[in-house]
Structure 1
Amino acid sequence: MTNDRQSKLLLLLLSRGQVSVHEIATALDASPATVRRDLADLEKSGQIDRLHGSARIATGSKKELAFSAREDNQIAAKRAIAQAAAALVRPNEAILLDAGTTVLQLARHIKSNTVPVNVFTNGLAIAQELAHAAHVNVTLIGGRVRSENLSMVGPAAVSMLGGLWFDRVFLGVSAIDAQGRISSLDADEAETNAQMVRRSGELVVLADHTKFDTRTTHAVTTLGAGDRLISDAPPKGAFAAYLDTAGVAFTQSTPLPALAYA
Protein backbone atom coordinates (compact mmCIF):
# COMPACT_ATOMS: atom_id res chain seq x y z
CA MET A 1 0.00 0.00 0.00
CA THR A 2 1.19 3.50 -0.73
CA ASN A 3 1.70 6.14 1.94
CA ASP A 4 -0.73 9.05 2.24
CA ARG A 5 1.41 11.43 0.15
CA GLN A 6 1.70 8.90 -2.66
CA SER A 7 -2.06 8.31 -2.53
CA LYS A 8 -2.62 12.05 -2.94
CA LEU A 9 -0.15 12.06 -5.81
CA LEU A 10 -2.10 9.29 -7.56
CA LEU A 11 -5.36 11.17 -7.05
CA LEU A 12 -3.76 14.28 -8.53
CA LEU A 13 -2.71 12.37 -11.65
CA LEU A 14 -6.13 10.73 -11.90
CA SER A 15 -7.87 14.09 -11.86
CA ARG A 16 -5.45 16.12 -14.02
CA GLY A 17 -3.83 13.62 -16.38
CA GLN A 18 -0.17 14.35 -17.15
CA VAL A 19 1.32 16.65 -14.49
CA SER A 20 4.80 18.14 -14.18
CA VAL A 21 7.08 17.43 -11.22
CA HIS A 22 6.94 21.13 -10.29
CA GLU A 23 3.14 21.13 -10.27
CA ILE A 24 3.04 17.98 -8.18
CA ALA A 25 5.50 19.42 -5.67
CA THR A 26 3.43 22.60 -5.35
CA ALA A 27 0.13 20.73 -4.97
CA LEU A 28 1.51 18.36 -2.32
CA ASP A 29 3.70 20.93 -0.55
CA ALA A 30 6.70 18.64 -1.04
CA SER A 31 10.18 19.13 -2.46
CA PRO A 32 10.90 18.11 -6.09
CA ALA A 33 13.38 15.55 -4.76
CA THR A 34 10.68 13.95 -2.59
CA VAL A 35 8.27 13.91 -5.53
CA ARG A 36 10.86 12.24 -7.75
CA ARG A 37 11.42 9.52 -5.13
CA ASP A 38 7.67 8.92 -4.90
CA LEU A 39 7.40 8.79 -8.68
CA ALA A 40 10.22 6.28 -8.84
CA ASP A 41 8.44 4.05 -6.31
CA LEU A 42 5.12 4.32 -8.16
CA GLU A 43 6.76 3.65 -11.53
CA LYS A 44 8.46 0.55 -10.11
CA SER A 45 5.08 -0.78 -8.93
CA GLY A 46 3.58 -0.14 -12.37
CA GLN A 47 1.10 2.49 -11.27
CA ILE A 48 2.48 5.46 -13.25
CA ASP A 49 4.47 6.32 -16.35
CA ARG A 50 7.31 8.85 -15.95
CA LEU A 51 7.92 11.23 -18.84
CA HIS A 52 10.36 14.15 -19.29
CA GLY A 53 9.82 16.20 -16.12
CA SER A 54 6.27 14.91 -15.62
CA ALA A 55 4.18 11.82 -14.90
CA ARG A 56 0.80 10.25 -15.67
CA ILE A 57 -1.20 7.21 -14.60
CA ALA A 58 0.10 4.09 -16.33
CA THR A 59 -1.81 3.08 -19.46
CA GLY A 60 -4.63 0.65 -18.65
CA SER A 61 -4.48 1.13 -14.86
CA LYS A 62 -6.64 4.23 -14.35
CA LYS A 63 -9.86 2.44 -13.40
CA GLU A 64 -8.14 0.10 -10.96
CA LEU A 65 -6.24 2.91 -9.27
CA ALA A 66 -9.30 5.12 -8.96
CA PHE A 67 -10.57 2.95 -6.10
CA SER A 68 -7.29 1.81 -4.56
CA ALA A 69 -5.81 5.31 -4.42
CA ARG A 70 -8.90 6.72 -2.74
CA GLU A 71 -8.96 3.81 -0.30
CA ASP A 72 -5.51 4.74 1.01
CA ASN A 73 -6.14 8.49 1.07
CA GLN A 74 -7.01 9.86 4.56
CA ILE A 75 -6.95 6.27 5.80
CA ALA A 76 -6.57 7.11 9.51
CA ALA A 77 -9.56 9.46 9.36
CA LYS A 78 -11.65 6.90 7.47
CA ARG A 79 -10.97 4.18 10.02
CA ALA A 80 -11.83 6.46 12.93
CA ILE A 81 -15.06 7.56 11.23
CA ALA A 82 -15.95 3.91 10.57
CA GLN A 83 -15.44 3.02 14.22
CA ALA A 84 -17.87 5.76 15.27
CA ALA A 85 -20.38 4.59 12.65
CA ALA A 86 -20.17 0.96 13.81
CA ALA A 87 -21.66 1.99 17.16
CA LEU A 88 -24.93 2.78 15.33
CA VAL A 89 -25.42 -0.76 13.99
CA ARG A 90 -28.18 -2.63 15.86
CA PRO A 91 -28.78 -6.40 16.00
CA ASN A 92 -30.85 -7.89 13.17
CA GLU A 93 -31.62 -4.60 11.45
CA ALA A 94 -31.41 -4.10 7.70
CA ILE A 95 -28.69 -1.64 6.75
CA LEU A 96 -27.54 -0.39 3.38
CA LEU A 97 -23.86 0.25 2.71
CA ASP A 98 -22.89 2.22 -0.37
CA ALA A 99 -19.66 1.52 -2.26
CA GLY A 100 -17.51 4.30 -0.77
CA THR A 101 -14.03 3.69 0.60
CA THR A 102 -14.94 5.02 4.07
CA VAL A 103 -17.95 2.69 4.13
CA LEU A 104 -15.59 -0.18 3.26
CA GLN A 105 -13.82 0.52 6.55
CA LEU A 106 -17.21 0.28 8.32
CA ALA A 107 -17.77 -3.11 6.65
CA ARG A 108 -14.51 -4.29 8.19
CA HIS A 109 -15.76 -3.25 11.64
CA ILE A 110 -19.01 -5.11 11.04
CA LYS A 111 -17.03 -8.18 9.97
CA SER A 112 -14.95 -8.14 13.16
CA ASN A 113 -17.99 -7.78 15.43
CA THR A 114 -20.45 -10.54 16.34
CA VAL A 115 -23.64 -8.49 16.00
CA PRO A 116 -26.04 -10.28 13.59
CA VAL A 117 -27.09 -7.89 10.84
CA ASN A 118 -28.61 -7.86 7.37
CA VAL A 119 -26.38 -5.93 5.00
CA PHE A 120 -27.41 -4.76 1.54
CA THR A 121 -24.74 -3.12 -0.61
CA ASN A 122 -23.96 -2.06 -4.16
CA GLY A 123 -20.22 -2.27 -3.40
CA LEU A 124 -18.36 -5.25 -4.84
CA ALA A 125 -15.45 -4.83 -2.42
CA ILE A 126 -17.84 -4.59 0.53
CA ALA A 127 -19.80 -7.70 -0.50
CA GLN A 128 -16.52 -9.60 -0.85
CA GLU A 129 -15.33 -8.35 2.55
CA LEU A 130 -18.47 -9.61 4.30
CA ALA A 131 -19.19 -12.72 2.22
CA HIS A 132 -17.77 -15.21 4.74
CA ALA A 133 -18.86 -13.48 7.97
CA ALA A 134 -21.27 -15.98 9.56
CA HIS A 135 -23.17 -13.29 11.52
CA VAL A 136 -23.80 -11.13 8.43
CA ASN A 137 -26.50 -11.82 5.84
CA VAL A 138 -25.26 -10.09 2.67
CA THR A 139 -27.31 -9.08 -0.38
CA LEU A 140 -25.58 -7.49 -3.37
CA ILE A 141 -27.61 -4.90 -5.26
CA GLY A 142 -27.49 -5.66 -9.01
CA GLY A 143 -26.77 -3.22 -11.81
CA ARG A 144 -24.10 -1.97 -14.18
CA VAL A 145 -20.57 -2.33 -12.80
CA ARG A 146 -18.89 1.04 -12.42
CA SER A 147 -15.28 -0.07 -12.20
CA GLU A 148 -13.96 3.30 -11.01
CA ASN A 149 -15.79 2.77 -7.71
CA LEU A 150 -16.30 -1.01 -7.80
CA SER A 151 -20.02 -0.30 -7.53
CA MET A 152 -23.28 -1.51 -9.06
CA VAL A 153 -25.27 1.43 -10.43
CA GLY A 154 -27.83 2.44 -13.02
CA PRO A 155 -31.51 1.68 -13.72
CA ALA A 156 -31.34 -1.98 -12.61
CA ALA A 157 -29.86 -0.99 -9.24
CA VAL A 158 -32.42 1.79 -8.79
CA SER A 159 -35.26 -0.62 -9.64
CA MET A 160 -34.07 -3.28 -7.17
CA LEU A 161 -33.70 -0.71 -4.41
CA GLY A 162 -37.27 0.45 -5.08
CA GLY A 163 -38.60 -2.86 -3.78
CA LEU A 164 -36.64 -2.75 -0.51
CA TRP A 165 -36.72 -0.81 2.76
CA PHE A 166 -33.78 -0.25 5.12
CA ASP A 167 -33.46 0.90 8.72
CA ARG A 168 -30.56 3.15 7.74
CA VAL A 169 -28.11 3.82 4.94
CA PHE A 170 -24.43 4.54 5.51
CA LEU A 171 -23.33 6.75 2.65
CA GLY A 172 -19.84 7.85 1.65
CA VAL A 173 -19.76 11.04 -0.41
CA SER A 174 -17.60 12.82 -2.96
CA ALA A 175 -18.56 16.32 -1.83
CA ILE A 176 -20.82 18.31 0.53
CA ASP A 177 -21.27 22.04 0.00
CA ALA A 178 -22.02 24.72 2.60
CA GLN A 179 -25.80 24.23 2.14
CA GLY A 180 -25.56 20.52 2.93
CA ARG A 181 -25.98 19.43 -0.70
CA ILE A 182 -24.29 16.11 -1.47
CA SER A 183 -23.00 15.52 -5.01
CA SER A 184 -21.24 12.85 -7.06
CA LEU A 185 -18.90 12.70 -10.04
CA ASP A 186 -21.05 10.14 -11.88
CA ALA A 187 -24.72 10.48 -12.92
CA ASP A 188 -25.64 6.81 -12.39
CA GLU A 189 -23.86 6.71 -9.03
CA ALA A 190 -25.72 9.85 -7.95
CA GLU A 191 -29.15 8.47 -8.89
CA THR A 192 -28.41 5.11 -7.25
CA ASN A 193 -27.32 6.83 -4.04
CA ALA A 194 -30.36 9.11 -4.13
CA GLN A 195 -32.60 6.04 -4.32
CA MET A 196 -30.74 4.56 -1.35
CA VAL A 197 -31.61 7.64 0.68
CA ARG A 198 -35.27 7.52 -0.38
CA ARG A 199 -35.58 3.87 0.70
CA SER A 200 -33.97 4.28 4.14
CA GLY A 201 -35.34 5.37 7.48
CA GLU A 202 -32.16 7.19 8.45
CA LEU A 203 -29.29 8.71 6.48
CA VAL A 204 -25.80 8.50 8.01
CA VAL A 205 -23.12 10.25 5.97
CA LEU A 206 -19.48 9.24 6.48
CA ALA A 207 -17.11 11.92 5.23
CA ASP A 208 -13.68 13.14 6.24
CA HIS A 209 -13.22 16.92 6.49
CA THR A 210 -11.65 17.22 3.02
CA LYS A 211 -15.13 16.63 1.52
CA PHE A 212 -16.59 19.73 3.23
CA ASP A 213 -17.44 22.90 1.26
CA THR A 214 -16.91 21.15 -2.08
CA ARG A 215 -19.22 20.34 -4.97
CA THR A 216 -19.18 18.00 -7.95
CA THR A 217 -21.49 17.65 -10.95
CA HIS A 218 -24.44 15.41 -10.06
CA ALA A 219 -26.81 16.04 -7.14
CA VAL A 220 -27.58 13.20 -4.72
CA THR A 221 -29.54 14.68 -1.80
CA THR A 222 -29.45 17.45 0.81
CA LEU A 223 -28.75 16.81 4.48
CA GLY A 224 -31.79 17.63 6.59
CA ALA A 225 -33.53 17.08 9.91
CA GLY A 226 -32.93 13.61 11.32
CA ASP A 227 -29.85 12.94 9.19
CA ARG A 228 -26.43 12.35 10.74
CA LEU A 229 -22.93 13.35 9.63
CA ILE A 230 -19.87 11.57 11.04
CA SER A 231 -16.46 13.12 10.35
CA ASP A 232 -12.97 13.45 11.75
CA ALA A 233 -13.25 17.24 12.23
CA PRO A 234 -16.13 19.62 12.97
CA PRO A 235 -17.65 21.70 10.17
CA LYS A 236 -16.87 25.41 10.19
CA GLY A 237 -18.43 28.66 9.02
CA ALA A 238 -21.50 28.55 6.82
CA PHE A 239 -21.55 24.76 6.70
CA ALA A 240 -21.61 24.48 10.50
CA ALA A 241 -24.38 27.08 10.64
CA TYR A 242 -26.43 25.19 8.05
CA LEU A 243 -26.17 21.87 9.91
CA ASP A 244 -27.29 23.52 13.14
CA THR A 245 -30.25 25.27 11.52
CA ALA A 246 -31.31 22.20 9.53
CA GLY A 247 -31.23 19.89 12.53
CA VAL A 248 -28.51 17.58 11.24
CA ALA A 249 -26.80 15.58 14.00
CA PHE A 250 -23.01 15.68 13.97
CA THR A 251 -20.62 13.11 15.46
CA GLN A 252 -16.89 13.72 15.58
CA SER A 253 -14.83 10.54 15.48
CA THR A 254 -12.09 9.86 18.00
CA PRO A 255 -8.59 9.48 16.51
CA LEU A 256 -7.32 5.91 16.71
CA PRO A 257 -3.92 4.98 18.16
CA ALA A 258 -1.20 4.87 15.52
CA LEU A 259 -0.93 1.09 15.80
CA ALA A 260 -4.60 0.80 14.75
CA TYR A 261 -3.84 1.98 11.23
CA ALA A 262 -0.13 1.42 10.77
Structure 2
Amino acid sequence: MKYDRLQEILRQLNNTGSVKVTDLSKKLNVTEETIRKDLATLEKEKKLKRVRGGAYLPNTFDKEVPVLLRETMFKEEKQIMAKKCLKFIEDGDSIALDSSTTALSIATLLKMTTLQITVISNSLDIANVLKDHKTIKLIIIGGNFRNVSHSFIGVNAQANISRYLIDKAFISSSGISLNIGPTDYSEDESLVRKQFLLQSQRNYLVVDHTKFDFRTIHLIDDFSHISTVITDKKPSGEWIDFFKNSKIQLIY
Protein backbone atom coordinates (compact mmCIF):
# COMPACT_ATOMS: atom_id res chain seq x y z
CA MET A 1 0.00 0.00 0.00
CA LYS A 2 2.85 2.38 0.78
CA TYR A 3 4.32 1.78 -2.67
CA ASP A 4 0.96 2.60 -4.26
CA ARG A 5 0.68 5.79 -2.19
CA LEU A 6 4.14 6.93 -3.16
CA GLN A 7 3.40 6.34 -6.83
CA GLU A 8 0.14 8.30 -6.58
CA ILE A 9 1.90 11.18 -4.83
CA LEU A 10 4.55 11.30 -7.57
CA ARG A 11 1.85 11.14 -10.25
CA GLN A 12 0.06 14.14 -8.75
CA LEU A 13 3.35 16.00 -8.40
CA ASN A 14 4.17 15.45 -12.04
CA ASN A 15 0.70 16.65 -13.04
CA THR A 16 0.41 19.74 -10.85
CA GLY A 17 3.91 20.51 -9.55
CA SER A 18 2.81 20.56 -5.90
CA VAL A 19 0.67 18.65 -3.39
CA LYS A 20 -0.93 19.46 -0.04
CA VAL A 21 -0.87 17.11 2.96
CA THR A 22 -4.57 17.66 3.70
CA ASP A 23 -5.63 16.89 0.12
CA LEU A 24 -3.51 13.73 -0.07
CA SER A 25 -4.82 12.53 3.29
CA LYS A 26 -8.42 12.75 2.07
CA LYS A 27 -7.72 11.31 -1.37
CA LEU A 28 -5.69 8.33 -0.14
CA ASN A 29 -7.80 7.80 3.01
CA VAL A 30 -4.87 7.81 5.44
CA THR A 31 -3.82 10.12 8.27
CA GLU A 32 -1.91 13.32 7.63
CA GLU A 33 0.97 11.89 9.69
CA THR A 34 1.19 8.96 7.25
CA ILE A 35 1.34 11.39 4.32
CA ARG A 36 4.10 13.39 6.03
CA LYS A 37 6.13 10.18 6.42
CA ASP A 38 5.55 9.36 2.75
CA LEU A 39 6.74 12.81 1.72
CA ALA A 40 9.81 12.42 3.96
CA THR A 41 10.59 9.13 2.21
CA LEU A 42 10.32 10.74 -1.22
CA GLU A 43 12.41 13.72 -0.12
CA LYS A 44 15.21 11.37 0.98
CA GLU A 45 15.08 9.92 -2.53
CA LYS A 46 15.40 13.53 -3.81
CA LYS A 47 12.13 13.27 -5.71
CA LEU A 48 10.48 16.32 -4.10
CA LYS A 49 11.01 19.20 -1.68
CA ARG A 50 8.95 19.30 1.50
CA VAL A 51 7.54 22.51 2.96
CA ARG A 52 5.05 23.24 5.71
CA GLY A 53 1.74 21.73 4.60
CA GLY A 54 2.91 19.90 1.49
CA ALA A 55 5.63 19.36 -1.08
CA TYR A 56 6.62 20.46 -4.57
CA LEU A 57 8.92 19.73 -7.49
CA PRO A 58 11.62 22.42 -7.39
CA ASN A 59 12.68 23.96 -10.66
CA THR A 60 16.43 23.81 -11.29
CA PHE A 61 16.64 27.58 -11.77
CA ASP A 62 13.55 28.81 -9.87
CA LYS A 63 13.44 27.36 -6.36
CA GLU A 64 10.45 29.37 -5.14
CA VAL A 65 7.60 27.44 -3.56
CA PRO A 66 4.49 27.45 -5.84
CA VAL A 67 1.92 30.08 -4.86
CA LEU A 68 -0.84 27.54 -4.09
CA LEU A 69 1.39 26.00 -1.42
CA ARG A 70 2.67 29.33 -0.11
CA GLU A 71 -0.94 30.41 0.52
CA THR A 72 -1.24 27.63 3.12
CA MET A 73 2.10 28.33 4.84
CA PHE A 74 2.11 30.59 7.92
CA LYS A 75 -1.45 31.62 7.08
CA GLU A 76 -2.21 32.93 10.57
CA GLU A 77 1.05 34.90 10.69
CA LYS A 78 0.28 36.52 7.34
CA GLN A 79 -3.16 37.56 8.55
CA ILE A 80 -1.61 39.13 11.67
CA MET A 81 0.89 41.10 9.57
CA ALA A 82 -1.79 42.12 7.08
CA LYS A 83 -3.88 43.64 9.90
CA LYS A 84 -0.85 45.66 10.97
CA CYS A 85 -0.37 46.88 7.40
CA LEU A 86 -3.97 48.02 7.15
CA LYS A 87 -3.37 50.58 9.91
CA PHE A 88 -1.02 52.48 7.58
CA ILE A 89 -3.46 52.69 4.64
CA GLU A 90 -5.72 55.75 4.42
CA ASP A 91 -8.36 57.12 2.06
CA GLY A 92 -6.78 58.70 -0.99
CA ASP A 93 -3.64 56.54 -0.89
CA SER A 94 -2.13 54.90 -3.93
CA ILE A 95 -0.53 51.66 -2.77
CA ALA A 96 1.55 48.96 -4.43
CA LEU A 97 1.12 45.29 -3.56
CA ASP A 98 3.60 42.78 -4.93
CA SER A 99 2.82 39.17 -5.89
CA SER A 100 3.60 37.67 -2.47
CA THR A 101 0.98 35.70 -0.56
CA THR A 102 1.51 38.22 2.24
CA ALA A 103 0.34 40.99 -0.10
CA LEU A 104 -2.58 38.75 -1.06
CA SER A 105 -3.56 38.64 2.63
CA ILE A 106 -3.51 42.46 2.68
CA ALA A 107 -5.73 42.55 -0.43
CA THR A 108 -8.16 40.09 1.18
CA LEU A 109 -8.57 42.43 4.16
CA LEU A 110 -8.86 45.48 1.89
CA LYS A 111 -11.75 43.78 0.13
CA MET A 112 -13.76 43.98 3.36
CA THR A 113 -13.20 47.73 3.80
CA THR A 114 -14.73 50.82 2.21
CA LEU A 115 -11.36 52.53 1.73
CA GLN A 116 -11.17 54.78 -1.32
CA ILE A 117 -7.70 53.98 -2.60
CA THR A 118 -5.80 52.96 -5.72
CA VAL A 119 -4.11 49.55 -5.70
CA ILE A 120 -1.29 48.85 -8.16
CA SER A 121 -0.16 45.23 -8.40
CA ASN A 122 1.48 42.67 -10.68
CA SER A 123 -0.47 39.81 -9.07
CA LEU A 124 -3.23 37.94 -10.90
CA ASP A 125 -4.58 36.63 -7.57
CA ILE A 126 -4.84 40.14 -6.13
CA ALA A 127 -6.64 41.24 -9.30
CA ASN A 128 -9.20 38.48 -8.76
CA VAL A 129 -9.70 39.44 -5.10
CA LEU A 130 -10.25 43.17 -5.74
CA LYS A 131 -11.77 43.20 -9.24
CA ASP A 132 -15.34 43.87 -8.05
CA HIS A 133 -14.58 46.28 -5.22
CA LYS A 134 -16.70 49.45 -5.42
CA THR A 135 -14.28 52.00 -3.93
CA ILE A 136 -10.86 50.60 -4.87
CA LYS A 137 -9.38 51.62 -8.20
CA LEU A 138 -7.38 48.63 -9.44
CA ILE A 139 -4.36 48.93 -11.75
CA ILE A 140 -2.80 45.64 -12.86
CA ILE A 141 0.73 45.69 -14.21
CA GLY A 142 1.12 43.61 -17.37
CA GLY A 143 4.12 41.64 -18.58
CA ASN A 144 5.30 38.05 -18.91
CA PHE A 145 3.19 35.68 -16.80
CA ARG A 146 5.09 33.68 -14.16
CA ASN A 147 3.04 30.65 -13.26
CA VAL A 148 4.79 29.73 -10.01
CA SER A 149 3.74 33.06 -8.45
CA HIS A 150 0.71 33.99 -10.63
CA SER A 151 2.47 37.28 -11.36
CA PHE A 152 3.48 39.49 -14.28
CA ILE A 153 7.19 40.19 -14.61
CA GLY A 154 9.83 41.37 -17.07
CA VAL A 155 10.93 44.63 -18.66
CA ASN A 156 7.38 45.55 -19.68
CA ALA A 157 6.20 45.18 -16.08
CA GLN A 158 9.06 47.36 -14.84
CA ALA A 159 8.35 50.00 -17.51
CA ASN A 160 4.66 50.06 -16.57
CA ILE A 161 5.44 50.53 -12.89
CA SER A 162 7.82 53.41 -13.67
CA ARG A 163 4.86 55.43 -15.00
CA TYR A 164 3.21 55.67 -11.57
CA LEU A 165 3.88 57.77 -8.47
CA ILE A 166 3.00 55.61 -5.47
CA ASP A 167 2.36 56.71 -1.89
CA LYS A 168 3.05 53.41 -0.13
CA ALA A 169 4.46 50.08 -1.29
CA PHE A 170 4.01 46.80 0.58
CA ILE A 171 6.45 44.13 -0.53
CA SER A 172 7.73 40.84 0.83
CA SER A 173 10.86 38.84 0.11
CA SER A 174 12.25 35.31 0.29
CA GLY A 175 14.75 36.39 2.94
CA ILE A 176 16.45 39.36 4.57
CA SER A 177 20.11 39.61 5.52
CA LEU A 178 21.67 41.97 8.04
CA ASN A 179 23.48 44.92 6.42
CA ILE A 180 22.57 43.56 2.97
CA GLY A 181 18.83 43.79 2.39
CA PRO A 182 15.85 41.74 1.20
CA THR A 183 16.54 39.00 -1.35
CA ASP A 184 14.46 36.92 -3.74
CA TYR A 185 14.57 33.55 -5.47
CA SER A 186 13.60 35.11 -8.82
CA GLU A 187 15.67 37.76 -10.57
CA ASP A 188 12.66 39.03 -12.54
CA GLU A 189 10.50 39.23 -9.41
CA SER A 190 13.25 41.06 -7.53
CA LEU A 191 13.47 43.70 -10.28
CA VAL A 192 9.71 44.28 -10.18
CA ARG A 193 9.82 44.67 -6.41
CA LYS A 194 12.73 47.09 -6.65
CA GLN A 195 10.77 49.17 -9.18
CA PHE A 196 7.88 49.38 -6.73
CA LEU A 197 10.30 50.63 -4.07
CA LEU A 198 11.78 53.24 -6.41
CA GLN A 199 8.34 54.63 -7.34
CA SER A 200 6.99 54.81 -3.80
CA GLN A 201 7.35 57.52 -1.16
CA ARG A 202 7.14 55.13 1.80
CA ASN A 203 8.05 51.45 1.66
CA TYR A 204 6.93 48.63 3.95
CA LEU A 205 8.84 45.34 3.98
CA VAL A 206 6.45 42.69 5.32
CA VAL A 207 8.19 39.43 6.29
CA ASP A 208 7.50 36.69 8.82
CA HIS A 209 10.12 35.58 11.38
CA THR A 210 11.45 32.74 9.18
CA LYS A 211 12.78 35.23 6.61
CA PHE A 212 15.31 36.80 8.99
CA ASP A 213 18.96 35.77 8.49
CA PHE A 214 18.03 33.84 5.35
CA ARG A 215 19.56 34.84 2.03
CA THR A 216 18.76 33.92 -1.56
CA ILE A 217 20.68 34.81 -4.69
CA HIS A 218 18.94 37.95 -6.03
CA LEU A 219 19.16 41.22 -4.08
CA ILE A 220 15.98 43.30 -4.28
CA ASP A 221 17.54 46.44 -2.81
CA ASP A 222 19.50 47.56 0.21
CA PHE A 223 17.74 48.87 3.31
CA SER A 224 18.05 52.53 2.29
CA HIS A 225 14.68 52.43 0.50
CA ILE A 226 12.86 50.63 3.35
CA SER A 227 10.86 52.88 5.70
CA THR A 228 9.18 50.25 7.88
CA VAL A 229 9.60 46.54 8.56
CA ILE A 230 6.48 44.65 9.66
CA THR A 231 6.86 41.13 11.05
CA ASP A 232 5.01 38.65 13.27
CA LYS A 233 7.54 38.12 16.07
CA LYS A 234 10.13 40.18 17.88
CA PRO A 235 13.46 39.78 16.04
CA SER A 236 16.86 39.39 17.71
CA GLY A 237 18.53 42.24 19.53
CA GLU A 238 21.02 42.55 16.70
CA TRP A 239 18.20 43.21 14.23
CA ILE A 240 16.47 45.64 16.59
CA ASP A 241 19.70 47.62 16.96
CA PHE A 242 20.25 47.58 13.21
CA PHE A 243 16.78 48.96 12.46
CA LYS A 244 17.17 51.62 15.15
CA ASN A 245 20.55 52.75 13.80
CA SER A 246 19.20 52.71 10.23
CA LYS A 247 16.15 54.78 11.28
CA ILE A 248 13.81 52.04 10.04
CA GLN A 249 10.52 51.69 11.92
CA LEU A 250 9.97 48.15 13.26
CA ILE A 251 6.47 46.78 13.87
CA TYR A 252 6.02 43.35 15.49
The normalised TM-score by structure 1 is 0.74
Which structure 2 residues correspond to residues 64-83 of structure 1 after superposition, within 5 A? 66-83=66-83
- Correspondence 1:10-89 to 2 at 5 A: 35-38=33-36, 56=48, 66-89=66-89
Contact 1:96 1:168 in 2 (8 A): yes
Give the number of equivalent residue pairs: 216
- What is the DSSP-based 3-state SS (H/G/I as helix, E as strand, rest coil) of the residue aligned with 2:138? strand
Give the CA deviation at 1:237: 3.7
Q: Is 1:104 equivalent to 2:96 in the alignment?
A: no
Match of 1:82, SS state, is helix
Output the CA distance in 2 between the equivalents of 1:179 and 1:108.
32
CA distance in 1, matches of 2:147, 2:206: 21
Matched residue, 1:3: none
> How far off its partner does 1:65 sit?
6.7
Distance 2:44 2:179 in 1: 43
Residue pair 1:180, 1:243 contacting (<8 A) in 2 also? no
Change (3 A) 1:229 1:61: closer
RMSD: 3.0
| Distance in 1 separating the partners of 2:235 and 2:42 | 38
- Kindly report which structure 2 residues correspond to 1:104-143, keeping only aligned pairs within 5 A, or say none: 104-143=104-143
CA contact (8 A) 1:190 1:218 kept: yes
Note the alpha carbon deviations across 1:18-57, whole angstroms, 9 max, x for none.
xxxxxxxxxxxxxxx96533366x8xxxxx9969977537
Deviations 1:46-103 (A, max 9, x none): xx99699775379989899711111111111100000010111110211110010011
Which one has more relative contact order, counting CA pairs under 8 Å at least 6 apart? Answer: 1
Q: 1:146 to 1:239 in 2, by over 3 A?
A: same
Q: What's the TM-score, normalizing by structure 2?
A: 0.77
Cα deviation for residue 235 of structure 1 reads 1.7
How far is the alpha carbon of 1:129 from its aligned partner?
0.5
Per-residue Cα deviation, 1:171-206 (whole angstroms, up to 9, x for no partner): 011110122511111111111111110000010011
Is the 1:177–1:239 Cα contact (8 Å) retained in structure 2?
Answer: no
Give me the whole-angstrom Cα distance separating, in 1, the residues matched to 2:48 and 2:34.
13
The 8 Å contact of residues 78 and 208 in structure 2, kept in 1 or not, is answered as yes
The match for 1:238 is 238
Structure 2 residue runs of 5 or longer lacking an equivalent are 1-12, 18-30, 50-54
Q: Distance between the aligned counterparts of 1:53 and 1:60, measured in 2?
A: 13
Tell me: CA distance 1:130–1:245, structure 2 relative to 1, closer, same or farther (3 Å): same
In 2, Cα distance between equivalents of 1:36 and 1:173: 32
Is the Cα contact below 8 Å between 1:180 and 1:239 reproduced in 2?
no
Partners in 1 of 2:128 and 2:86 — Cα distance?
Answer: 18
- Residue in 1 aligned with 2:222? 222
Q: 1:56 to 1:163 in 2, by over 3 A?
A: same
Q: Is the contact between residue 99 and residue 149 of structure 1 (CA under 8 Å) also seen in structure 2? A: yes
Letter in 1 for 2:74: Q
* Aligned-partner SS, 2:89: coil
Measure, in 1, the Cα distance between the counterparts of 2:56 and 2:223: 39
Q: 1:60 & 1:53 partners in 2: Cα distance?
A: 13
Instruction: Say if 2:47 and 2:57, in contact at 8 Å, map to a contact too.
Output: no
Distance 2:195 2:220 in 1: 9
* Percentage of matched positions with identical amino acids: 24
Q: Secondary structure of 2:88's partner?
A: coil
Q: Secondary structure at the match of 1:167?
A: strand
3-state DSSP class of the match of 1:176? Answer: strand
